[in-house]
């Protein structure tokens, strides 16, 4: 990862956080992998880096972004990943809450993002 340009490093860190959220229930479901693959392609991430992150999903640690826009995007993406199978499981909620707190958001902010995401999906 050290030989990537800075914007790619940021996107790779964001992607790694998404993989960590997706794997929080102990496995990556096919639709989670599809979403992650689409996001990786959108970010222009190298396939070998994406595969490496999938392979080490159980060991990934959350990385805090540096600006508010990235923080909001990461929280929204974390919630989306947690809800992708139709509901937020307890472990996924706990991880999203941990992510929210690390991003300087409160529980009520997370709950708002979850409710907003549910409304958008209807």
Over residues 40-89, the pLDDT tens digits come to 888 889 889 999 999 999 998 777 788 898 889 889 988 887 887 778 88
Q: Give the structural domain span for 77.
A: 6-121
Interacting residues of 46 by C-beta distance below 8 A, sequence separation 6+? 4
**CATH number for the domain that contains residue 23:** 1.10.3680
Give the Å distances, CA to CA, from 7 to 3, 76, 109.
12, 20, 27
Residue 93, in any domain of the structure: yes
Asked if residue 57 is part of any domain, the answer here is yes
pLDDT value at residue 3? 58
Find the mean pLDDT for residues 99-105: 89
Which of 7-16, 41-50, 96-105 is predicted with the least confidence, judged by mean pLDDT?
A: 7-16
Tally of domains within the chain:
1
Residue 1 lies in a domain: no
Give a yes or no: residue 24 inside a domain.
yes
Structure tokens at 118: 């549910």
Residue 113 lies in a domain: yes
Give burial (CB, 10 Å; 0-12/13-18/19+) of 63.
Answer: middle
């Amino acid at each position: 990862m050290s030989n990537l340009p800075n914007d790619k490093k940021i996107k790779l860190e964001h992607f790694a956080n998404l993989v960590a959220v997706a794997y929080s229930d102990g496995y990556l479901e096919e639709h989670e992998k599809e979403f992650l693959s689409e996001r990786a392609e959108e970010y222009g991430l190298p396939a070998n880096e994406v595969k490496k992150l999938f392979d080490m999903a159980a060991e990934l640690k959350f990385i805090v972004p540096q600006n508010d826009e990235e923080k909001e995007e990461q929280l929204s993406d974390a919630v989306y990943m947690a809800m992708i199978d139709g509901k937020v499981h307890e472990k996924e909620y706990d991880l999203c809450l941990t992510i929210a707190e690390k991003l300087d958001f409160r529980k009520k902010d997370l709950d708002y993002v979850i409710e907003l995401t549910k409304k958008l999906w209807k």
